[in-house]
A = this chain, B = another copy of it.
Amino acid sequence: MSAAATTVPATPGNAGLASDYRRIRQRTLDLAAPLSAEDAMVQSMPAASPAKWHLAHTTWFFERFVLREAGEAAMHPDWDRLFNSYYHGLGGFHPRQQRGLLSRPSLQQVLDYRAAVDERIGEALDRGALEAEACQRLVLGLHHEQQHQELLLTDAKHALWSNPLQPAYDPGLACGPTPAAGQGWHAFGEALATVGAAPWPGEDEAFAYDNESPPHRVFLAPYRLARRPVSNAEYRDFIRDGGYRCPQLWLSDGWDRVQAEEWSRPLYWAPGLEAEFTLAGTRALDPHAPVVHLSAYEADAFARWAGARLPTEFEWEHAARELPLDGNFADQGRLHPGGPVPREGGLERMFGDAWEWTSSSYAAYPGFRTLPGAAGEYNGKFMSGQLVLRGGSCATPRRHVRASYRNFFPPWTRWQFGGLRLAADPA
């Protein structure tokens, strides 16, 4: 993969942009294909959205930010309210927790809407009719689309699991075992490290979200990072050692949550700790695969039990900055952590497999500026009550992620592919 290929160029009339657009849009359809119209309706918890909503919202994003900004009339004016997620600058929106009530428009109507928008945008791209600013919003829309591809998978996983029949998303997903891998520490010395990405859009064409910029220096004391993420077997040891019954291991908020929701294991694990629900259905627990579907509270408690801690997002980024973007991503089609180690030696599985919880609250970088217009609501307003996760997961498109990429979720959420890698102060 060349460096050029990892970015979505923003040049008007650029053939690469048109093909990226078509490829990424098609990929969303492919990911939704195993779901019936009924499956695509389910909203199994307020924080998740139905697949149909993801399909419609991402399309609305292009229609609203690209076509309509360019002067086109609304295709379905009464859909604005339904598929606007949270942009106050663009009018009101349907309550998030009621997205599962939207039997209309039908999945077929949404697919038709996708096709109509894609046709107009494809045509505009082909004839170079989009101005630079529109192209930038289109590039933003493609990254937005990829983000929703992962959410479509994690939300569908939760929806299917919520059904007592626990049907598989795709029983045929590849699932080779994960080889055992020794654990160990990588030490990093004191550093005045530069983290973050150049603001986009800028002179450089590489895309990054506004929340990743500007680049800035942070002082890092010496630290250590574990060679690989924590495995299922290790996490099972924590459970068997009474981890969920010992309040001293937990943050106070975490312990409250353990009590209130009676947590005793990762979200999708079976009570006997021997199996877990995956997108391929229920399967035997793979002992050496990275553990996932942990809240930050669980990750933190495990780390304390292990005599270690979570890394900060800057410790993580500093360590990852020069690593190749190899990993078990959604492109591999496994859609579950584990399998052969992509690249042995050095830090393993930093990218892909599992989002790694960090101890860093999701906050603005010094000099942070939101994008202009309504798109400015994309990231900044969520900088409260969330923690940063790094590195991407088995459900993340490979081209979506990078060393500076900041994912963020509230610390109690478990339905994402969230795991952890231990960090520690110098020995």
Which A positions have Cβ atoms within 8 angstroms of B? 36-42, 44, 78, 81-82, 86, 88-89, 94, 98, 100-107, 159-160, 162-165, 167, 192, 216-219, 221, 223, 247-248, 250-255, 297, 309, 359-361, 363-364, 366-367, 377, 381-385, 411, 425
Q: Measured between alpha carbons, how far is A250 from B367 in the docked complex, in Å? A: 18
- Which residues of the partner chain B approach A247 to less than 8 Å between Cβ atoms? 88
With A38-B37, A385-B253, A411-B385 already in contact, the answer to whether A104 and B425 are too (CB < 8 A) is no
Instruction: Provide the residues of chain B in CB contact with A364, threshold 8 Å.
Output: 309, 359
**Separation of A248 and B86 alpha carbons in the complex (Å):** 11
* Nearest CB in chain B to that of A310: its residue: B364
Tell which of A44, A82, A248 has the most Cβ of chain B within 10 Å: A248
Query: What is the total number of copies of this protein in its complex?
Result: 4
A38–B100 Cα distance when bound, in Å, is 10
Name 21 interchain pairs, CB-CB below 8 A, sorted by A.
Answer: A36-B103, A38-B103, A41-B41, A41-B103, A42-B100, A78-B164, A81-B164, A89-B248, A100-B100, A101-B162, A102-B163, A103-B159, A104-B163, A192-B219, A219-B219, A221-B367, A250-B381, A251-B381, A251-B382, A253-B385, A359-B363
- A425 and B38 contact, CB distance less than 8 A: no
Contact A39 B104 (CB under 8 A): yes
Minimal Cβ-Cβ distance residue in B for A246: B88
Chain B residue contacts of A44, Cβ below 8 A: 101
Task: Assess A104 versus B38: contact at CB under 8 Å? Given A82-B164, A88-B248, A247-B88.
Answer: yes
